[in-house]
Structure formats: structure tokens, C-alpha cells
């Protein structure tokens, strides 16, 4: 449950921050609601990126999947 | 006078109803104080922060007073927590990140102490207020960004430019990357706050069930309460750990610039 909550907060945070940025820009530039709509979508994309990244990180921590235990490419 | 009566009713349930589970999160001004028109009262929240800071200081000083080669129980707890955070910073940030160890250690101990203090009956859970967790997260976020710019200079902006992307796609992706970076303080703070608040509300609700169901029916709810209290202690530790490890991951991003 903790993991699911973590991933869903990241998704929601993406949309919320995107929406907030769009809303603030709208207020500043007087273009309501165009930018808010645009940034809601961009925020959703950002949320998906964060979710994928944290899932990848999680998977890296858990170790390779069975049958996929070839040496991972290490870009250190 | 009326106000205290209202609070009393909220705590114990008006008209014999169930007590309000959100009452435990109310902020009370213990020492009212106005500074330059800002309400800077010493609240129960502030009191528990002071208690937490005091307990951590006393704990580390007392535990490490004798510095025995064969540690006492208290000393090994202090050493274990040190080593725990030490390994966390080394594994997630690397050896060049060790200079941030004191910060991560303080943060971990502070959040852990606040979460654990919240588990004491009649106490106040400071971390169940989003403004507290957001202030911590915003501080981390700003600090990490400053560290990134100090270490890499303007090159830190390349952090927002993904590799191997067609040139036409860049403006879109950079904006998305920046938004994704800006979500960090929000998701970091919401996670800690939501876990603590949900857990404590659940505890209160089921505690009320025990009383409401009485001697005959309350045992099942009581059993659940016992198990859930154990789980909440685990969550209190886990959320402090998650908070600290995400700080390490963000520090690592700023120092080594890869996702």
C-alpha cells in the first residue's frame, strides 16, 4: 500500500503543480484558461515521468528480475 | 470560555456521539505572541518540535557519554542510528556526499522523533500538518537546487535536458522535466503528511469504536487497534526513512546530475 500511495502522490503532484503553474501564468498574462489547460496536460506528463522514474529506481533496488540477471549497464 | 467548552465537546463527542477524530490535529496557542503583525504564538505543535529536538540531543549526548568499546544498550542504539544513516548517505549519494551527512542525520532523527512522539497517547503529531512537512520539503528542495548550481554552475540546467531527444521535441520535454522537478517538494511533503494523518485518524476512529461497542462488541475493534498501533509505529519509522532517503536521492541528482 505504501508503494502505491507513493506512486499516486507523485502522479497527483505532477498534475497539481502543472495546474498551479498554468493558473498563475493565466492570472499574470490574462490568458485564462488556455495556459491552465495546457499546463494540466504537461503536468500529467511530468507526473508520469516521475512515476516511471521512481518505479525504475524501485526496481533497481529490488535487484534484477529472474532471468534478467545480466549485468546492468552502469553509467556511473 | 465558550471555545474551550466547544473543544471539550469535540473531544468527547457532543451529545454522547462519537468523538471527532480530527480534534487531535487542532493547533492550540499555548503562549500567544504577535511579532510584527504575524501570529508567532508558541503552539502545541511548536512545543512538540522543541521536545523532539531536546530528546534527540539528550539521547545522543547521554548515549555517547561513556564511549565504551563494548557499547551499552543505549550506546548501541545511537551507533546503530548513526550507521544506518551513514550507510544510507554513502549508498545513495556516494562518498563525496558525506559532507551532507550531518544534515540528513538531523533530518532523519527529527522526523523520526516527531513521528514516534505522535504515537504517545495524548501527544500531538507535528508531521500530520502539511505546512510542517512542506516547510521541511521546500527547504530540502531549495538547498538541493542551490547545491546543484554551486557545484555545476549553469551546466546544472542540462539536468532538465534529456539525452538523445530530437531538437524539435526539446522545448516540450524541458518544460515537462522542469514541472517534474518542481513536483518534488509537493510529493515529498504530501507523502509524509498523508501517511501520518490517515494513520492517526484511523487510530482515533477505531479507538472510538472500541468505546462505542462496549464490553460486548469492542474486543474485535480492540484487537484491530493493537495490530494497527504496531503498524503505525512501523509507518512512523518507514516514513522518516523514506523522507531521508529521498533527500539522499535528490542530493545525488544535484551532485552527479543523472536521473
Percent of chain B with pLDDT strictly greater than 90: 27
| Domain-embedded: residue A66 | no
| Domain-embedded: residue A69 | no
Asked if A6 and B259 come within 8 Å (Cβ–Cβ), the reply is no
**Distance in angstroms (rounded) separating the CA atoms of residues A52 and B180:** 11
| Domain-embedded: residue B9 | no
Overall number of domains in chain A? 1
| Domain-embedded: residue B221 | yes
Asked if B176 and A42 come within 8 Å (Cβ–Cβ), the reply is yes
What residues of A are in contact with residue B183 (Cβ under 8 Å)?
Answer: 10, 13-14, 16-17, 43, 46-47, 50
pLDDT of residue B57: 92
SS3 B67: coil
Count of residues making up chain A: 76
| Domain-embedded: residue A9 | yes
Host domain of residue A54: 2-60
What residues of B are in contact with residue A18 (Cβ under 8 Å)?
Answer: 179
Shortest distance between the Cα of A17 and any Cα of chain B, in A, equals 6
**Distance in angstroms (rounded) separating the CA atoms of residues B148 and B28:** 39
Q: A18 and A41 in contact (C-beta within 8 Å)? A: yes
| Domain-embedded: residue B5 | no
| Domain-embedded: residue A65 | no
Mutate to test the interface with B, among A1, A10, A36, A53 (most CBs of B within 10 A): A10
| pLDDT digits 0-9 by tens, B85-141 | 999 999 888 888 888 999 999 999 999 999 999 888 888 888 888 999 999 999 999
| Domain-embedded: residue A11 | yes
**CB neighbourhood size of B71 (10 A):** 16
pLDDT of residue B11: 52
Task: Report chain B's mean pLDDT, rounded to a whole number.
Answer: 84
| Domain-embedded: residue B13 | no
**CB neighbourhood size of B90 (10 A):** 14
Overall number of domains in chain B? 1
Global confidence as pTM: 0.81
Q: B248 and B97 in contact (C-beta within 8 Å)? A: yes
User: Nine-digit cell at B104?
Assistant: 540528513
**CB neighbourhood size of B146 (10 A):** 12
| Domain-embedded: residue B216 | yes
Burial (Cβ within 10 Å: 0-12, 13-18, ≥19) of residue B124: buried
Q: B119 and B111 in contact (C-beta within 8 Å)? A: no
| Domain-embedded: residue A75 | no
Host domain of residue B227: 22-256
| pLDDT digits 0-9 by tens, B202-212 | 888 888 888 88
| pLDDT digits 0-9 by tens, B63-81 | 888 777 777 888 888 889 9
| Domain-embedded: residue A71 | no
Model confidence band, residue B58 (pLDDT cutoffs 50, 70, 90): very high
Q: B179 and B7 in contact (C-beta within 8 Å)? A: no
Count of A-B CB contacts under 8 Å: 57
Amino acid at each position: 500500500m505504501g508503494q502505491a500511495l507513493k506512486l499516486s502522490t507523485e502522479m497527483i503532484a505532477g498534475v497539481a503543480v502543472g495546474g498551479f503553474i498554468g493558473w498563475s501564468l493565466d492570472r499574470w498574462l490574462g490568458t485564462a484558461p488556455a495556459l491552465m489547460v495546457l499546463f494540466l496536460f504537461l503536468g500529467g506528463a511530468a507526473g508520469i515521468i516521475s512515476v516511471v522514474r521512481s518505479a525504475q529506481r524501485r526496481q533497481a533496488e529490488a535487484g534484477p528480475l529472474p532471468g534478467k540477471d545480466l549485468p546492468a549497464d552502469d553509467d556511473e | 470560555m465558550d471555545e474551550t467548552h466547544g473543544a471539550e465537546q469535540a473531544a468527547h463527542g457532543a451529545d454522547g456521539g462519537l468523538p471527532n477524530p480530527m480534534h487531535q490535529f487542532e493547533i492550540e496557542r499555548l503562549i500567544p505572541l504577535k511579532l510584527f503583525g504575524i501570529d508567532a504564538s508558541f503552539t502545541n505543535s511548536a512545543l512538540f518540535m522543541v521536545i523532539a529536538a531536546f530528546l534527540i540531543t539528550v539521547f545522543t549526548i547521554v548515549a555517547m557519554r561513556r564511549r565504551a568499546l563494548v557499547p551499552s544498550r543505549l550506546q548501541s542504539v545511537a551507533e546503530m542510528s548513526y550507521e544506518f544513516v551513514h550507510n544510507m548517505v554513502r549508498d545513495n549519494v556516494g562518498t563525496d556526499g558525506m559532507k551532507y551527512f550531518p544534515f540528513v542525520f538531523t533530518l532523519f532523527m527529527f522526523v523520526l522523533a516527531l513521528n514516534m512522539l505522535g504515537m504517545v497517547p495524548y501527544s500531538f503529531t507535528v508531521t500530520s500538518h502539511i505546512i510542517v512537512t512542506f516547510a521541511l520539503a521546500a527547504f530540502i528542495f531549495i538547498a538541493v537546487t542551490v547545491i546543484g548550481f554551486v557545484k555545476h554552475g549553469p551546466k546544472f540546467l542540462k539536468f532538465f535536458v534529456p539525452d538523445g531527444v530530437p531538437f524539435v521535441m526539446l522545448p516540450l520535454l524541458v518544460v515537462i522535466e522542469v514541472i517534474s522537478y518542481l513536483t518534488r517538494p509537493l510529493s515529498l511533503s504530501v507523502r509524509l503528511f498523508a501517511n501520518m494523518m490517515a494513520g492517526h485518524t484511523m487510530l482515533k476512529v477505531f479507538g472510538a469504536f472500541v468505546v462505542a461497542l462496549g464490553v460486548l462488541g469492542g474486543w474485535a475493534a480492540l484487537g484491530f487497534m493493537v495490530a494497527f498501533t504496531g503498524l503505525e509505529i512501523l509507518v512512523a519509522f518507514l516514513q522518516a526513512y523514506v523522507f531521508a532517503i529521498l533527500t539522499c536521492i535528490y542530493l545525488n541528482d544535484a551532485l552527479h546530475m543523472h536521473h
